[in-house]
Amino acid sequence: EAEASAASAVLLPYTLSGARKPALRAPNVRLAFARTIALLHPEARPASGIHPTAIVGEGTRVGLGPAIGPYAVISNGCEIGDEVIIGATCVIGRDVQIGDGTVLYPRVTIYDQCVIGRRVILHSGAVVGSDGFGYAAVEGRQVKIPHVGRVVIEDDVEVGANSSIDRATLGDTRIGAGTKIDNQCQIGHNVTIGRDVVIAGQSGISGSVTIGDRVVLAGRVGVVDHVRIGDGAMVLAGAAVRKDVPPGAVMWGIPARPHREELEIQATLGRLPDLLKRVTALEQQGKRTTPSRRRSARRRQNAR
């Protein structure tokens, strides 16, 4: 397909030979592809400066070369690093810290006292630091538990559009360096996520979950509260994690089980209609033979 395409050149691994088109060889073709796109299509940076409609609160310090868009609101006491981009209508609460080179796309909201590292990307509609989902039941009513902790997002994290990361009840909700969170994900209060974790779209992580380094959660994974997921584990799409996952495990299903075990269960489920027919046939056969067996038994008794 590559040879028949209109491409002027191709990217190939070292192990593949025989290309007739000009080829750029690399040990990691996907990484080379990403860097090639970045070179050929550099992202346009907005003009530096603070838009006249933006609001910057008292005591807030803004670093060198910022680009702060229309109607952005930065509250009092914030620390904004160098070369930070804050898109239109973003709202940043009091005493927030944002590191160098971070990008906030339009309509991002960061609540009070949260800490955002360097080179972080928050896509439109992301909410960082909203209250966790915690209530105390009293005589059938739900009384709100105050959440007075923070969210700490370390360096090089990316958070997709319309994802939410709740602040801790006490202490920190923490997202480790290099972690990538897709669109429409929910991260509950007091969650700790390690380094270089990948979380695909529509996944939900309940409160006080601990996720190790280099974990992968595929799309629509659900994790119940207080679960621990070990380093390097992978949870496949649609799984519901209800108990701890050991390091390096591959899990799938509802509830999540080791992948091979779940495959066997799914294969068995596919045979259930045929098994039901066979069981029903055996039951019917048993009903037909039972009266004749009873008559034979009576004749044997009478003969005695």
Q: What is the CA radius of gyration of the chain?
A: 29
Q: What CA–CA distance (Å, rounded) separates 174 from 12? A: 38
Q: How far apart are CA 190 and CA 172, in angstroms?
A: 6
Q: Which two tokens stand for residue 39?
A: 């070179």
Give the angle subtended at the CA of 156 by the CAs of 192 and 34, to the nearest 5°: 125
Contacts of 175 (CB under 8 A, 6+ apart): 151, 152, 153, 154, 157, 159, 165, 181, 187, 193
Cα torsion 274, 275, 279, 282: sign: positive
What count of residues does the chain have? 304
Report, as residue numbers or ranges, the catalytic residues.
189
Contact by Cβ (8 Å): 256, 234: no
CA distance 204 to 209: 11
> Whole-angstrom Cα distance, residue 167 to residue 174?
9
